[in-house]
Amino acid sequence: MSGAPLARYDATLLGLARRDRLRTLSPCAGLDFSSNDYLGLAASKRLGDAVAAAIARGTPVGATGSRLLRGNTPEHEALEADAATFFGADRALFFGSGYIANFALLTALPQKGDLLVLDELAHASMHEGAQAGRAQFVLAAHNDMNAVEDAITRWRAEGGTGRVWIVVESLYSMDGDRAPMESLVALADRHEAFIVVDEAHATGVWGPDGRGLAAAFEGRDNIVALHTCGKALGASGALVTGPGLLCDYLVNRCRPFIYATAPSPLMAVAVREALAILSDEPMRRIQLQERVAFAGRQLAERGLMPSGSQIQPFVIGENRRTMAVAASLQARGFDIRGIRPPTVPEGTSRLRISLTLNVDEADISAMVEALVEVLAST
């Protein structure tokens, strides 16, 4: 082996540092304006009590194997049954994380000869699943229905004969804007296409009972949804909901499901309890939406454009200034993080401010005042 064995890795890190893109781990500190714990469930007593009761009755911490071996526990099956009912789907499958679930879906369901049309701002896990899968894939301009339809029409004109898969997020994680679900479903129907919709940042927050922005379309044969459990639900893992036949196919052909140790049965208990909380405690969702509206008014009064959701981005552009602004806000006691490429496109480094029930209106007012001051002085 020529050269120092770690030299290439050191060079990569030095290159990231020169471009102000080097990342480091930092502890949680200050008021929470960065987490995805939108409903404040992660540390809720009810979730904790449900897990403690499960431990007391002998529920194991580990699943001990894959779902197809000994890892299929009553807790997994109970969660999946409740989730299918709650989301109005034919069936649900529980995965260990949202990232793995997205990757799994797009490497297993779209077949060779199919076309996958992916929104350019969809989550990294969807991009990587598309790249690793068997279907041809193209990127479509963000939330541009004409771009999606043009891609399908062009592919058909060039001889494409398979199925089309349209892949989107319902609420985009770095922009806080929504996919036009009604238009997407109408377009999919015209082209006999499937839709894969990642509800990660909508589940628990938007839609009837927090069922997501695609709730009106769940249960259809051409809709597959992903409901992340590590954001508003306060736990971890992800639920894939869709037609029973496609879920059977995943059990038989989805390698990340077949060959992975099943998620902890205790996490299945926690997610099941979180779904019950969504139904039993609607005030959490109402209070969050009130905070979103309050923050929107505060921002608009200061000439800043609100997103209308619990995700509020402020695009700064340059990496160094973005991180300097974030550091200044952190020094004032507000946990706000800077987001840089490749997570967002080049030239669009930003602050990603998250609104949760872990802060109140007084905290939001203080944060907005600090934001305005720091933006003006940095």
Query: What are the contacts of 44-49 at 24+ separation with CB within 8 A?
Result: 44/234, 44/277, 46/273, 46/277, 47/234, 47/235, 47/270, 47/273, 47/274, 47/277
Type and span of the H or E element at 226: strand 223-228
Contact in structure between 135 and 160 (CB atoms under 8 Å): no
Catalytic residue from among 34, 36, 328, 349:
36
The one catalytic residue among 34, 76, 97, 123: 123
- Among the listed residues 34, 102, 170, 173, the single catalytic one is 173
Spatial distance between the Cα atoms of 117 and 6, rounded to a whole number of angstroms = 39
Q: Is residue 189 annotated as a catalytic residue, yes or no?
A: no
User: Of 76, 127, 227, 231, which is the active-site residue?
Assistant: 231
CA proximity to 274, closest of 228, 336, 226: 228
- Show the tokens assigned to 252: 């038989």
Instruction: Answer yes or no: 123 catalytic.
Output: yes
Q: Exactly one of 201, 222, 307, 319 is catalytic; name it.
A: 201
The answer to whether the beta carbons of residues 150 and 115 sit under 8 Å apart is no
- Write down the catalytic residue from 198, 199, 218, 335: 198
Residue corresponding to tokens 């194991």: 60
Whether 127 sits among the annotated catalytic residues: the reply is no
Whether the ω angle into residue 342 lies within 30 degrees of 0, i.e. cis, is: yes
Q: What letter represents residue 247's amino acid?
A: C
231 labelled catalytic: yes
Catalytic (active site) residue 169: yes
Active site members: 36, 123, 169, 173, 198, 201, 231
